[in-house]
A and B are shown apart, each in its own frame.
Chain A
Amino acid sequence: MVDVRTLHPLAWWSWGISLAIATSRAGNFWLLGGIIFAAIIVTFSRRSDDPWANALSVGIKIACIALLLRMFIAILFSIPEQGKVLFTIPRIKLPEWLAGIFLGGDVTQERLQFVLLESLTIFALVVAIAAASSLANPKQTLRALPGVLHEAGVALIIATTLIPHFVMSVKRIRQARALRGDEERFGFKKTLVPLFEEALERALVLAESMEARGYGHKPKNRNPLVPTLTMFAGLLALLYSIISLVIGNSYQISLILSSTLIIFSLYLGNRNNSRTKYRPQKWGFRETFVLIMGVISIVVAGASFTLLLAVLLFLVALAPMLVTGRERVLT
Chain B
Amino acid sequence: MIRFNNVTLIYPYVQRTIFEDLSFEVPEGEFVLVMGDTGAGKSTLLKLMNGLVPHHTGGIFSGSIMVDGKDTALHKPRDLVDVIAIVGQNPALGFVTDTVEEELVFGMESLGVAPEVMRKRVEDMLDLLALTPLRQRKLSSLSGGEAQRVAIASVLTMNPKILLLDEPTSALDPIAAEEVLATLSRLVHDLGITVVIAEHKLERVLQFVDRVIYVRNEREVAVGFPQEILKDSTLAPPIVHLFRGLAGETSDKEVPLTVRDARRQLGDLAAALSPMQRNQPAIAAEPLLELESVAIHYGAKVALKNVSLAISPGEIVAIMGRNGAGKSTLLSSIAGLRKLERGLVRVCGLDPQILKGKDLIAKIGFVPQEASDLLYAQSVEEELRHSDHDNGVTSGTTSRLLARLLPDIDVHVHPRDLSEGERLCLVLAIVLANNPPLLLLDEPTRGLDYRAKDRLITAIRECRDLKSAVIVASHDVELIAEIATRVVVLADGEIVADGPAGEILTSSPAFAPQVAKVLAPAQWLTVNEVLKSMGKSAP
Q: Which residues of A contact B (CB under 8 A)?
A: 1, 139, 154, 157-158, 161, 164, 172-173, 175-176, 178-183, 189-190, 193-194, 197, 202, 205-217, 219, 274-280, 330-331
Task: Please give me the residue from chain A that is nearest to B337 by CB atom.
Answer: A175
In this complex, the member of B110, B141, B332 whose beta carbon has the largest number of chain A beta carbons within 10 angstroms is B110
| Residue pair A175, B332 in contact (C-beta under 8 Å) | yes
B residues 135-171 in Cβ contact with A at 8 Å: 136-138, 140-141, 154-155, 158
Q: Give the distance to chain A from B368, nearest Cβ to Cβ, in Å.
A: 6
Q: Given A214-B78, A275-B112, are A164 and B357 neighbors across the interface (CB < 8 Å)?
A: no
Residues of B within 8 A of A274 (CB): 111-112
Name the one of B88, B115, B155 contacting A277, with C-beta atoms under 8 angstroms: B115
List the B residue with the shortest CB-CB distance to A273: B112
A-B pairs, top 10 by smallest CB distance, nearest first, are A209-B94, A176-B373, A274-B112, A213-B107, A278-B105, A183-B357, A181-B361, A214-B81, A214-B110, A205-B93
Bound complex: CA A154 to CA B96 (Å) = 8
Inter-chain contact A215/B78, CB cutoff 8 Å = yes
When distances are taken between beta carbons in the complex, the residues of chain A under 8 Å from B55 are: 211
Total A-B residue contacts, Cβ distance less than 8 Å: 161
CB distance B88 to A208 under 8 Å?
A: yes
Contact with A along B347-367 (1 / 0, CB 8 A): 000000000111011000010
Please judge, given known A-B contacts A181-B358, A212-B81, whether A276 and B96 are in contact too, CB under 8 Å. no
Residues in A with CB closer than 8 Å to B90 are: 205
* Cα-based distance from A114 to B62 in the complex (angstroms): 78
Q: Tell me if A194 and B376 are in contact (CB < 8 A).
A: yes
Q: When chains A and B are docked, how far (Å) is the Cα of A331 from the Cα of B118?
A: 23
Query: Which chain B residues numbered 257 to 293 have a C-beta less than 8 Å away from chain A?
Result: none
Interface size class on chain B is: 35 or more
Chain B residues in 8 Å Cβ range of A212 = 50, 52, 77-78, 81, 85-86, 155
| Residue pair A216, B374 in contact (C-beta under 8 Å) | no
Cβ of A211 to closest chain B Cβ, rounded Å: 5
Contact call B94/A205, Cβ cutoff below 8 A = yes
Q: Are B97 and A209 in contact (CB under 8 A)?
A: no
Interface residue? B119 (CB, 8 A): yes
Beta-carbon contact of A278 and B78 below 8 Å: no
Residues of chain B within 8 A of A278, CB atoms compared: 101-102, 105, 108-109, 115, 118-119, 122
Determine whether the beta carbon of B357 is less than 8 Å from that of A182. Answer: yes
Binary per-residue interface labels of chain B (236-247) against chain A in the complex, 1 for a CB within 8 Å, 0 otherwise: 000000000000
- B228 CB-CB contact with A under 8 Å: no
Min C-beta distance of B411 to chain A, whole Å: 19
Q: Which residues of A contact B386 (CB under 8 A)?
A: 180
A157, A175, A208, A278 — which one has the most chain B CB atoms within 10 A of its CB? A278
| Distance in angstroms between the alpha carbons of A89 and B44 in the assembled complex | 78
Q: What does DSSP make chain B's interface, helix, strand, loop or mixed?
A: helix
User: Which B324-381 residues have a C-beta within 8 angstroms of A?
Assistant: 332, 335, 337, 356-358, 360-361, 366, 368, 370, 372-376
List, in ascending order, chain B residues with CB within 8 A of A178's CB. Answer: 337, 356, 360
Instruction: Say whether A189 contacts B335, CB under 8 Å.
Output: no
Residue of B nearest to A3 (CB): B136
7 contacts between A and B (CB under 8 A): A1-B102, A154-B96, A161-B140, A172-B368, A207-B56, A209-B94, A214-B107
Chain B residues within 8 Å of A183, by CB: 356-357
Is B115 within 8 A of A206, CB to CB? no
Do A197 and B360 touch across chains, with their CB atoms under 8 A apart? no
What residues of chain B lie closer than 8 Å to A139, measured between beta carbons? Answer: 97-98, 102
Could you tell me the distance in whole angstroms from the C-beta of A180 to the nearest C-beta in chain B?
Answer: 6
Q: Answer yes or no: B79 CB below 8 A from chain A CBs.
A: yes
Q: Give the distance to chain A from B189, nearest Cβ to Cβ, in Å.
A: 25
Closest to B151 in A: A209
Please give, as numbers and ranges, the residues of chain B lying within 8 Å of A330 by CB-CB distance: 99, 136-138
Contact status B96-A209, CB under 8 Å: yes
Q: Are A215 and B373 in contact (CB under 8 A)?
A: no
With A and B bound together, what is the CA distance between A154 and B105 in angstroms?
A: 13
Contacts of B387 in A (CB 8 A): 180
Contact of A276 with B113 in the complex, beta carbons under 8 Å: yes
* Contact between B110 and A217, CB atoms less than 8 A apart: yes
Asked, given contacts A1-B102, A206-B93, A276-B115, whether A213 binds B356 with beta carbons under 8 Å apart, the answer is no
Interface: B399 (CB within 8 A): no
Given contacts A213-B155, A214-B81, contact A172 B373 (CB under 8 A): yes
In the bound complex, CA of A91 to CA of B476 (Å):
80
Indicate if the CB atoms of B361 and A161 lie closer than 8 Å. Answer: no
Q: In the complex, what residues of A have CB within 8 A of residue B50's CB?
A: 212
A213 touches B376 (CB 8 A): no
By a CB distance below 8 angstroms, the chain B residues around A275 are 109-110, 112
* B contact residues around A172 at 8 Å (CB): 368, 370, 373
**Chain B, Cβ-Cβ closest to A203:** B93
Is the pair A164, B56 in contact by a Cβ cutoff of 8 Å? no
B194 within 8 A of A: no
Identify which of B94, B138, B391 contacts A181 (C-beta below 8 A). B391
Bound Cα distance from A219 to B110, whole angstroms: 11
